[in-house]
Amino acid sequence: MFSAEIIANYLQGEVEGDSSVAVSDVARIEQGKPGTLCFYANPKYEKYVYTTKASVILLNRDYVLKEKIAPTIIRVDNAYESVASVLGLFESTKSANKKGREYPSKVSWRSKRGKNCYIGAFAYIARGAKLGNNVKIYPHVYIGDNVTIGDNTVIYSGAKIYHGCVVGSGCIIHSGAVIGADGFGFAPQANGEYRKIPQIGNVIIEDNVEIGACTTVDRSTMGSTIIHAGVKLDNLIQIAHNVEIGRNTVVAAQTGIAGSVKIGENCIFAGQAGVVGHIKIGNRVTVASKTGIQNNVDDGKSMLGFPSMEASKYKRSFIVFRNLPALKNSVDELEKKINKLEEKF
């Protein structure tokens, strides 16, 4: 449990009310109950500021209360951003005490582990693997030969990291993710069969990357598939061989990135987007849901549709093609009038 005073100090905020009140969980403002902390950021939920049963509430410094409320208040610059820090604080307490090795598990004597690591039951750590300090390997994880994992990284149950891959510090890899499986490389033969092209590269994941459940990042044919620092990948994403994703880019679920694509920094990909292979996407590009990218995209563009076009052009085009049935009826009527005139004259 954390007192309001501790949380306020952690967030560099100020307490209004009882600073000793303690909370053990975080709740949505409309579902707050005693012993929980909630936050207010969306005007749609303002009424719950005055009715929530939570013990502590995060409010922006500039928010003016219309009436007195029961919860202890912590004033912060940005309540929405601050709650992410609070969630991290609570999450850290759940896994911080996990240390040591559970059995049965297999850890090669040729592997190396830093201080305060946790190895869950049925995990497999192959020879040559190197784990940094405070690494958490949950049950049923597979760590292949010569894999390197940096400090404070968490690998959740059932994730697989193939041989030779590198994972940085402060990363989170969720259950069912597969890092370093073979890229989809096959050469067509004269007899119609496909010959497998050996995939001899690896995957490099830099620091503070999060990879969602059942997401796959394929190893490169040669060289490395690279996920740069700060990238966040949602669940159920396919990243193909030799892809490179720039720093602080976020990708939502069911997106597919084909081979050898180069993506810049601070990009946003909404759900079910698709990118064809061997193209380059610049920095700060936004790709809308279900958009299909088939050509290079310059810095700062917002893309929409399939095949994709700039969002502003797509919206103007949409106004036209959503009215096509009415336009067709108008054309049909004009043709009838023209035909009658031709018959008459």
Catalytic residues: 241
- Radius of gyration over alpha carbons of the chain, in Å? 27
| Distance (Å, whole) CA 212 – CA 232 | 8
**Longest Cα separation, the chain:** 99
Which neighbouring-strand residues pair with 22?
3
Residue entry with tokens 């005693």? 34
- Determine how β-strand 154-155 pairs with β-strand 136-137: parallel
- Determine how β-strand 72-76 pairs with β-strand 56-60: parallel
Dihedral sign of CA atoms 166, 170, 174, 175 in order: positive
3-state helix, strand and coil shares in percent for the chain, rounded to the nearest 5: 20, 30, 50
Q: What are phi and psi of 5, to 5 degrees?
A: -65, -45
Whether residue 307 is preceded by a cis peptide bond, meaning omega within 30 degrees of 0, is: yes
Ramachandran region of residue 242, left (φ > 0), alpha (ψ -120 to 50) or beta? left
**Nearest of 152, 133, 127 to residue 143 by alpha carbon:** 127
- What single-letter DSSP state applies at residue 226? E
